[in-house]
Every structure is written in C-alpha cells, then in structure tokens.
Amino acid sequence: MPLTRRDFAKRTAITGAGVALAGTVDVLATAPGALAAEPPATAAAAGASRHHGGLGYGELLPDPKGILALPKGFSYRVITRTGVTKLESGESTPSNHDGTATFEGLRGATLLATNHELAGARADWPHPVPLTEGLVYDSGAAGGVTIVEVAKHGGHVVEWVGVAGTATNCAGGRTPWGTWLTCEETEDKAGKNGFLKDHGYVFEVDPYDRRANRDPKPIKALGRYAHEAVVVDPKRGHLFLTEDASNPNGLFFRWTPPAGFHHGRGKLRALPDGAGVLQAFKCFDSGGKFVDDLSRATKIGTVYGVDWVDVPDRDAKATSVRKQFAAGEVTRARKLEGMWWGDGGVYVVSSYAREESPGASHDGAVWFYDPKRRTLTLKVLLGVNPDPSADGAFDGPDNITVSPYGGLVIAEDGEGVQHLFGALGDGRTYPIARNELNIGTAEEPEYSEFTGVTFSPDGKTLFANIQDPGIMLAITGPWRRQGHGGAC
C-alpha cells in the first residue's frame, strides 16, 4: 500500500518529524564549519571545514613516496597498480579502479571484487580488462571486474578477471549471499563506440566460483540506464539502485522481486527480463507538498516521505528511463552515487548540486532511506567549497561505507585536493587520508578521485582506490572507536 502524502503529514504531526530537524544527535553535519542548521550557501561562507580535536587520528603526514598522506601510526600497501602489477594470465592490471567490495577468502585471505570504469571504445584504453575466454559480454567494450586475492598477512596477491566486455563499471553493491553486483554507468547501445551489444545494465559476479561467471548475462529486470550503485535489503528482498545522470537529473530506484522469489547465488541472472517491479521514488514534505529535486533540502535533518512510481519501459528501448516521467511524477537529484546498507536502511549519496538543479547549490549530500518508515532523511550536507585547491574542506562525496568503528567513511570525488574522511552522527568530521599523487603539473596540480572505499571482513584494513592511474591501497593502523551507536 502506498504511503500517501496525507498519511505522512499525519505521521509527522504525531511524532514531531518534520523538515528541519537540525541539531539532533543522529544527524551528520559536514558542511564547511560544521554548521548543521545552516543552508549550504551560508555554511560555505564560514570557510574550510574545521576538524575536531580529539576526534579521528590526528593530522595527515606527507608521504615521502608521494602517494598517500596518513595520520601518524598508519601505513599503506600498494595491492595493485595499473602498468605495474599483473593478472595471473600475464596482462597488466586494468586501469580506472572504481567500486569495490571485500569477501572472506580461504585461510584468512581477503577477496576483493573491483570495478574498472572504462568508457567508450576499447581501443581508447591501453589497459582494458582482458577478454578472458568465456567471461566476455561484449568484445567491443573495455570495462569489467577483476577479483583480487590478498593473503592473510598481505604477502601474496593474485588477480584474475571476473567479467569482461562491459562498459563504464562504476560502483555496484555486495549482496548478502556473497556476490558482487557491478553497475554500468552508461546508456550506450550496440553500434556506438564499437559496441556489439546494448549497455547500461547490472551484472552479478561471483568472487568464489569462476565457473558461475561464464557466459555473462545482464540482469535486465533491474533496468537499463546510467547505473551507479545497488544495495540489497536483506529483510525485504528489495534492491535499491542509483542513477548518475543529468538532463534531466537522475533517479533513485527500488526493485521489488516477484512473488515467491528467493535471493541466492545466480538467482538474479536467471530471472526473466521483465521480472518484478522497477519503480522510481517520489518525495513529499510533511505538509504534503511534492518535492521535485533533493536539492530543495537546505537543512540537515530534513525528512521526506517516499512513494514509488512504476517505470514504464525499464529497458529504455526508445526513451531513457529518467525521461519517461513528466514533471511532478518523480523526484530527481544530481549525481546520485554511492550507497551502503547499514542501520536497517540505505545511505545514498548525491555528490553535488549546481545550475542543473532547481534548489540550492551544495558540494555533496548523504541521505538515509528507512524502508520501514518509508522516509528519506538528510544526514550530511556539504556547503560549496570556496577553495578546492586548499587542504581542509571536503566536497564531492562519492563511494561510501559504514565503518565498524562508528560513522561513515566517505571517498571524495570533488575538485582539487582529494580525501578519505570520516563523519559521525553528532556533526563531527575528521580526515583519514589525502591523495598526494599529482597527475597534473607542478604549476597546475591534479589529483584523481578516491573510489572503492571498503573495510576488510575483519575490520582491520581499509581498502581504497586512486582511480587514475589505477591503484588499490590497503590502509592499516591503530583504528579505534569513533563516537557511539550506529553509523548515524
């Protein structure tokens, strides 16, 4: 039964929920200056982020090797590096590392499924994902997934192909049954960029069973659009998916499995193309007013009610999915990016809002969708960074993970300096790492985004990628509890 605007208005009147719950203990405020109750433009004027003493792990120390600045007591290892490390077959590790998940391996090893975000024609990339026999979807595409096995004490690393011939593999999601869902962030069809097949799908990759990955098949039931990330509701069986697109802005989706369906290894790829129901979200405030775009929210703690609207043509045969809805039918957001399941719901990122969004400009937001209450709450709001070239302020959140030590760990994909940083539920933030690998010039430095932030199954190692040139890093150190309670 849909949650009507009247129901939501009644509920908020009874419970006190509303559209500006700033200052509560379960709210994250990471705008410059940590001004939880201020709109983004005002917060930005406060200047760079002020990291809080006693929180986190201290200042970031420059790296003599020029790769990763870390706090005192922390260290990193390069696990894979494009053009340096090799797959077990002898080819170079593919470039453009992106979304990543970890899995428990044998004898204490860690398995990592890693996307390679390679867009366009295969010939354009010097280090594409190799076209391993039996694991290729489209021989004209350069992207895919590799599986990396890191021995218990890190002394031995092996890498092999999980799927090849896919395109623009951006983020994805780990399933409760131990597989990786890799997402294509493209809408390119056969005939474009040398592609032989349509793209814009989700594929399932099994890190344990190579035979299960043979003859790759897209999960067409989840739709064809510029996929970013996906998470699974382990209780209800829904899949939630983000779309990173503009003109118009992208959508947040929910897929409901067909009656009698039970999740498990390989079950999704066996579904008929039209199985289940794919829907886009539609938000309204506590007064029952429709919300056209998430950029309308300017205060931490804003709560929206959520309805779900059926997608007319999920395979986008003639019209992109996001363009199939008229004004007033669905809610949109700019750069809906990384997601992570935690605290009984979905943390979902909107990287920024600018002139392509109808509301206030900001440099990043993290929302929390509660499937039980069917509400969407603004948890993180980054004001516009006045000087991205200066170290200090955070902007452009992308991949995220829930930390076993409390709060969220967020990978930056903004302008200028790039960080991994933590954010807690009481409005405090702290830096974890800074990318020091300059891929520009001394006069005009440039630093690639962080991607694929995720902890090892035992919580002792934080893995993250520097997308360009393609480096997977394992970060260890004196991790300790930050704050109290859940992620937020």
Confidence at residue 47, expressed as pLDDT on a 0 to 100 scale: 32
Using alpha carbons, list the distances in angstroms from residue 467 to 31, 105, 194, 204, 379: 25, 25, 24, 22, 27
226 alpha-carbon distance from chain centroid: 13
Confidence at residue 3, expressed as pLDDT on a 0 to 100 scale: 53
Q: Is the same domain home to 104 and 239?
A: yes
Confidence at residue 13, expressed as pLDDT on a 0 to 100 scale: 41
> Is the bond preceding residue 39 a cis peptide, omega within 30 degrees?
no
Q: What is the rounded distance in angstroms from the CA atom of residue 342 to the CA atom of residue 174?
A: 12
Q: Is the same domain home to 59 and 170?
A: no
Residue where the block lists tokens 């994909």: 413
Q: Give the pLDDT confidence of 296-314 residue by residue, as tens digits.
A: 999 999 999 999 999 999 9
Give the residue from 333, 365, 385 where a domain finishes.
385
Q: Which residues contact 465 (CB under 8 A, 6 or more apart)?
A: 97, 98, 100, 114, 450, 451, 452, 471, 472, 473
Give the residue from 385, 403, 433 where a domain finishes.
385
* Burial of residue 386 (number of CB atoms within 10 Å: 0-12, 13-18, 19+): middle
Q: Is the same domain home to 331 and 420?
A: no
Please name every residue paired with 435 in a beta bridge, in sequence order, or none if there are none.
68
Confidence at residue 16, expressed as pLDDT on a 0 to 100 scale: 35
Q: Is the same domain home to 329 and 433?
A: no
Give the residue from 385, 409, 430 where a domain finishes.
385
Q: Is the same domain home to 219 and 263?
A: yes
**171: closest CA among 349, 366, 345, 423?**
349
Chain-wide mean pLDDT for the chain? 89
Confidence at residue 484, expressed as pLDDT on a 0 to 100 scale: 60
Q: Is the same domain home to 73 and 100?
A: no
Q: Is the same domain home to 19 and 45?
A: no
Yes or no: say if 228 and 185 are a contact pair by the CB < 8 Å rule.
Answer: yes
For the chain, residues with pLDDT lower than 70 are 1-53, 425-427, 484-488
Q: Is the same domain home to 194 and 320?
A: yes
268 alpha-carbon distance from chain centroid: 21
Q: Which residues contact 46 (CB under 8 A, 6 or more apart)?
A: 31, 32, 33, 35, 38, 383
Q: Is the same domain home to 44 and 94?
A: no
CA dihedral sign, ordered 302, 488, 355, 320: negative
Q: What is the rounded distance in angstroms from the CA atom of residue 208 to the CA atom of residue 106?
A: 10
Q: How many domains does the chain have?
A: 2
Structure tokens at 320: 């992109």
Q: Give the pLDDT confidence of 260-300 residue by residue, as tens digits.
A: 999 999 999 999 999 999 999 999 999 999 999 999 999 99
Confidence at residue 366, expressed as pLDDT on a 0 to 100 scale: 93
Structure tokens at 136: 């290729």
**Domain containing residue 247:** 5-39+86-385
Confidence at residue 470, expressed as pLDDT on a 0 to 100 scale: 97
Q: Is the same domain home to 301 and 336?
A: yes
Q: Is the same domain home to 28 and 145?
A: yes
Q: Is the same domain home to 115 and 186?
A: yes
Share of the chain above pLDDT 70, in %: 88
